[in-house]
Structure 1
């Protein structure tokens, strides 16, 4: 254990540095270019946290001490709060100043605040390791205001904590408040901001200039910030590079969609741009080549690209095709509706509503297709 290692080697660490033997080839340089306290800090970081000599020297400019007492007490603080040796090493390597801080004044109040909101000790460990910088920021002026701002849109301590656990920078990023303000001023609705904060909060860590550019680009595509799908559009626009975005445009064009058609699909369901090129091609291949249906149908329901091909699209499509061939479903009915229903409603409306013989055949067909396609999906997990 790191703690016992330090305690057992405290005397060795504090030995006069002129007699200290460094295992690194350029340690002599440090002894001749740094002060005694800096040299002690360097040796402490190298021996107890596996710092490289260069990184230890750099860190010693932020924190330095002549004895191990303070640093040992900091390590003991984290150990008693459930942090492992590995956790502590990760934290110290990113924020070495912690080794000389008063943890009960600087860090503990932040832990207590999170506990008061329902976080568990393991949650706090995850947040601190995920972004140790949050322990450096002011509780009163930064952590609490940012927490309250995020919770204003999520409206649940449990869900707010879940977002923070997945993205600890929410408690310390320099851009969270300014970017949320930017979205509000541009008319982005609360539900869109909620979706961003719950799905991919890292989107609002970019510079306000970059976020503003993305918002304007989406507006030029005809997307209204007040619509609930605008959050999905931002997720797509900020979630993939411009080159990947253009590649997907080209993939849709390959299947006969014009630029205006693609824009219509994006306006209807922006998340279709988050599907991989392979997924787009596989859906189109099945829809056009196997079913013989026109790809233009999918423009009105581009959300289908986000559904599992093996688990949902193919089994349901086979039922719909059978019903059409048997004249049990009107050709004028929407081809897309069956794919958007819940499992329960789909079975009720397209399988269980028929006479016993027909119903038995449809159930058998549906579950056989589900089994066969699931087995295929295991070989090709992106479905």
Structure 2
């Protein structure tokens, strides 16, 4: 009964007659009155903006004019540079140029540096430039070395001496016998400074078990490998290819070979090997034996295979066991020795089923002793043939 009574109350005529309107609909609209800025404040702001704009414009004009006059920049190049650096007097840029000239930089070298790092013109050279030059000098670099280092990579000028240049130099020094050798490597690879890849990558190699001598090998052979941004992926890839002993020099040689070329170049070389009868497995076997064989160009691989297979009539598979042959000079080593071996086979002095690639892996004295001098009756003819093919 209670529920029935309650329901009836909601249906009463009085409630039905009520008109419910939202509260905010019954309010009068609010009129917003704009707040006026006092004329004095508005005028000051306008004057300030105009002054700043005028100052910036003057600096831009001065900078563009300076770059054109002092470095021979085109108007377009100078305008682009002025977006990175601006100055309204020649005091700082003149002092920067003076420091460069005192160290022997030519006008063209200074121009090249400014083109790549125009912001150097607004620095205090005695705080930003000179200390770096003095550090390199203290480590044995000559003025000529400094000019070469900076010209090849102006990035060093923007690197922190304490946080980048010194730590990187000292890290390289750990693996080389002298400061002079470090300078030599820096000259060889222009991107040593300006990032922290080297220190990070060396730590990664050491943590993975790579020994100092193998890191030294990379520094001496191709230091840019140690500056790669994805060293972790490179290490994992080498391990997947069967190089599981980081203390072995082959491990770092494989790392070098894989990082020294793009995937497309690698694949192109595999295609060439397969054209001459190798399988994917044979390519991998050869790579595991002598990783640096993959540094041979496709042209070199074709030349060696063409001579080996077409001219000598030998099986290309023999080279799987001695893939370092692809690293040897065709004219000065492969052809002369192959002609001697071919002569010996034709005379029945050695078996045709010998390891054909063996004579190519020994040094010259051993080769002459085993394949020329030991055949007393034929030694004169063999030596003549060998020297003739050597072009002597």
TM-score by length of 2: 0.80
Match for residue 318 of structure 1 among 319, 339, 357: 339
Is residue 91 from structure 1 mapped to residue 109 from structure 2 by the alignment? no
| 1:54 positional shift | 4.5
Q: Is the 8 A contact 1:189 1:228 kept in 2?
A: no
Larger Rg: 2
Q: Secondary structure at the match of 1:335?
A: coil
Q: Secondary structure at the match of 1:229?
A: helix
Is residue 252 from structure 1 mapped to residue 273 from structure 2 by the alignment? yes
| 1:239 positional shift | 1.7
In the alignment, which residue of structure 2 is the partner of 1:275? 296
Is residue 231 from structure 1 mapped to residue 252 from structure 2 by the alignment? yes
Q: Is the 8 A contact 1:49 1:93 kept in 2?
A: no
Q: How does 1:124-273 map to 2 (within 5 A)?
A: 124-207=146-229, 210-224=230-244, 225-273=246-294
Q: Is the 8 A contact 2:99 2:130 kept in 1?
A: no
Q: Secondary structure at the match of 1:171?
A: coil
Structure 2: which 5+ residue stretches go unaligned? Answer: 1-52
Cα deviation 1:274-295 (Å, max 9, x = unaligned): 1122211211121122222221
Match for residue 305 of structure 2 among 266, 284, 288: 284
CA distance in 1, matches of 2:282, 2:102: 60
Is residue 367 from structure 1 mapped to residue 391 from structure 2 by the alignment? no
| 1:34 positional shift | 4.0
Is residue 116 from structure 1 mapped to residue 138 from structure 2 by the alignment? yes
RMSD of aligned Cα (Å): 2.3
Task: Identify which of structures 1 and 2 has the higher relative contact order when contacts are C-alpha pairs closer than 8 Å and 6+ apart.
Answer: 1
CA distance in 1, matches of 2:222, 2:280: 28
- Residue correspondences, number: 339
Q: Secondary structure at the match of 1:35?
A: helix
| 1:254 positional shift | 1.6
CA distance in 2, matches of 1:315, 1:231: 32
Distance 1:337 1:119, change over 3 A: farther
TM-score by length of 1: 0.81
Distance 1:329 1:69, change over 3 A: same
User: Runs in 1 of length 4+ with deviation above 6 angstroms?
Assistant: none
Cα deviation 1:319-362 (Å, max 9, x = unaligned): 1222233343455653323212223332233323443x532212
Match for residue 373 of structure 2 among 333, 352, 372: 352
Is residue 306 from structure 1 mapped to residue 327 from structure 2 by the alignment? yes
| 1:60 positional shift | 2.9
Cα deviation 1:118-143 (Å, max 9, x = unaligned): 22221111101011111222222211
Distance 1:116 1:367, change over 3 A: same
Q: How does 1:2-81 map to 2 (within 5 A)?
A: 34-81=56-103
Q: Is the 8 A contact 1:192 1:228 kept in 2?
A: yes
Q: Is the 8 A contact 2:272 2:301 kept in 1?
A: yes
| 1:364 positional shift | 1.1
